[in-house]
Structure 1
Amino acid sequence: MLDDEDRRLLRYWQAEPSLSQGELAERAGMTTGRVTRRIARLQELGIVNGIGAVIDWAALGYAVEVSLRITLDKTQGNAFDAFMAEARLVPEVIELQTFLGRVDVRLSIIARDMAHYQEIYRSRILTLPHISEIEALMHVARIKSSEGLPL
Structure 2
Amino acid sequence: MIALDDLDRAILRALVEDASQSAGALGRALGLSQPACWRRIRRLEEAGVIAGRRLDLDQAALGFGVTVFLGIKLATRGRVSLEDFERAVTAIPEVQVVQHVLGRFDYRLRVTARDIADFERVLRRRVMTLPGVGQVEANVLLSEERRPGPLG
TM-score (norm 2): 0.90
2:91 to 82, 89, 92: 89
Is the counterpart of residue 46 in structure 1 residue 67 in structure 2? no
Single out whichever of 7-16 and 118-127 deviates more from structure 2: 7-16
Q: CA–CA distance in 1 between the matches of 2:49 and 2:151?
A: 14
The residue number in structure 1 matching 2:118 is 116
1:7 to 2, 6, 9: 9
The residue number in structure 2 matching 1:68 is 70
Q: CA–CA distance in 2 between the matches of 1:110 and 1:75?
A: 27
Q: Deviations over 1:115-149 (max 9, x none)?
A: 2112111221111111111111122222x223343
Q: 1:75 to 1:104 in 2, by over 3 A?
A: closer
Instruction: Tell me by how many angstroms 1:91 deviates.
Output: 0.6
Secondary structure of 1:118's counterpart equals: helix
The residue number in structure 2 matching 1:106 is 108
Q: 1:25 to 1:75 in 2, by over 3 A?
A: closer
CA RMSD of aligned residues (A): 1.6
Q: Name the aligned partner's letter for residue 41 of structure 1.
A: R
The residue number in structure 1 matching 2:32 is 30
Identity of aligned residues (%): 35
What are structure 1's unaligned runs of at least 5 residues? none
Secondary structure of 1:33's counterpart equals: helix
Q: Tell me the matched-pair count.
A: 150
What are structure 2's unaligned runs of at least 5 residues? none
Q: CA–CA distance in 1 between the matches of 2:20 and 2:78?
A: 47
Q: CA–CA distance in 1 between the matches of 2:17 and 2:116?
A: 35
Q: CA–CA distance in 2 between the matches of 1:15 and 1:114?
A: 32
Q: CA–CA distance in 1 between the matches of 2:98 and 2:66?
A: 17
Q: 1:150 to 1:77 in 2, by over 3 A?
A: closer
Contact 2:69 2:138 in 1 (8 A): yes
